[in-house]
Amino acid sequence: MIDPVAFALPAARGGLYESFYFRGTSQDGRHAFWLKHNLLRRNGHKTITVENAFIIFDRVSGESEVIYDKEDMTPAAFATFSRSGHWEQASVNFASGSFFSISREALRGKLHTSRGTAQWELALERSDEVLYHFPNERLYHLPWPKKKIITRDCFLTFRGRITCAGITVDGEFLGMNGHNWGTEHAYEYAYADCNRFAEDPGAYFDGFSVKIALARGLVKSPFLSMSSLKTQGRWHHFNALTASWKQRVEALDDYRWIATFTNASHRLEVSIDGQNPRIEPWVALHYDHPGGARSVVKNTKFATARLQLFSVPDNRLVQELSSEFFELETLLPGNMPSGKGYAGIP
C-alpha cells in the first residue's frame, strides 16, 4: 500500500496542496491542539509555500487561538527540505526565526511572529495503526478523487509541553496524525474523526461527506460519503466507491453533520453536533487552492456525537458509542474569506 508518510508534492506535475497534521486532547479534556504543516504549489508556479500553524482550543473559555507562519521556498530549497522523501524526517527554519521539526519519535517547533508565539516539544508514542480511507490503492494514484486522505496513526499519545498565545499545557495528550493532499479542496464537505469514546477506549471513527465541482464548477455532484469505524477490536468499512453516492446525508451545515452509512452487513448512524460556536471553541481557517481560490474551513475538537452500529439482517443494535471529543470540520461554499490571512473568524 502507499507509504502514508511519503511526500506527495515532489511527484506532482502541477499544482498541489499537502498537509501533514497532528491533533491531541489533554487528559483532563479541557484543551486540544492542532498542529499543521502545509505545502502549496500553485498551478503554473515553481515556488512552494510552506506554512506552519498551531491552534489551541480551550473548552472552558470557549475560545481558540491561532499562531502561524509561512514562507516561500525555491525549488532548490524545497528539494533540500524533501530529500528524505517523507514527513517523519522533515524540518524547516523560517527567516522570522520560527522553525519546526518532525521525526517518528518527536515534534518540536516554535512560531515567533507579529501575530503571537507558540512553542511545542512533544514525545510520540505511536500505535502505527494506519487507516486508508479509499478501498483501492489505485485511487491514491489516479487523478480522481482530487483529494487524497490517509490517517497515518489512529491512536497517538503525545507527552510534553505546548504553549500557544499565553496558554501552557503540560502532560499527556491523546490524538492522531493525518495526511492529505490534492489538486483542489472539495466544493463542500464535512469531515470527522474521534478516538476517545466512553464505551470503548479502543474505538476509532473517521469519515466524510463531500460534494465535488465538475465541468469547471458548472455541475456539482451529490454528496459522496465514506467512513470507517473500529469497535470491539474489529474494523467496519463503509467506503465502497460505488456506494459512496448512496450513503444518506440528513444534515450538513457549519456546525453539524448527520449521516447514515450502509454496507453489506451493517448500518452505521452518525450524529455529530458542534453546538453553538459561542459555547464550544471553533476556529475558521482560510484554505488556499492550487488554482488560486480560497475556502473557509471551520473546525472544532469538541463536537459531541452519538454513533449506532446495527446488524443489517436483523436490525439488531450491535454497539452504541458516544463522545464529547469529536473533531468536526466543515467547508460550505457560501462562507467567504474575511481577509488575506490564514485565520478568519468562526
337 preceded by a cis bond (ω within 30 of 0): no
Cβ atoms of 41 and 260 within 8 Å: the answer is no
Count of beta carbons in the 10 Å neighbourhood of residue 179: 23
Give the per-residue pLDDT at 204. 98
Enumerate the domain spans of the chain. Answer: 13-331
Question: pLDDT tens across 13-60, in order?
Answer: 899 999 999 999 999 999 999 999 999 999 999 999 999 999 999 999
User: Which residue, 65, 67, 81, is CA-closest to 18?
Assistant: 81
Evaluate if pTM is beyond 0.95. Answer: yes
Distances (CA, A) of 98 to 20, 71, 107, 118, 237: 18, 10, 14, 9, 40
The DSSP output letter for 139 is: G
Please list the ranges in the chain whose pLDDT falls under 70.
345-346
> What pLDDT was estimated at residue 342?
83
Whether residue 137 contacts residue 1, with contact meaning beta carbons closer than 8 Å, is answered with yes
Identify the pLDDT of residue 139.
Answer: 96
What digits encode the pLDDT tens for the residues 193-240?
A: 999 999 999 999 999 999 999 877 778 999 999 999 999 999 999 999
Three-state DSSP state, 76: helix
Which one, of 300, 235, 296, lies nearest residue 272 by Cα? 300
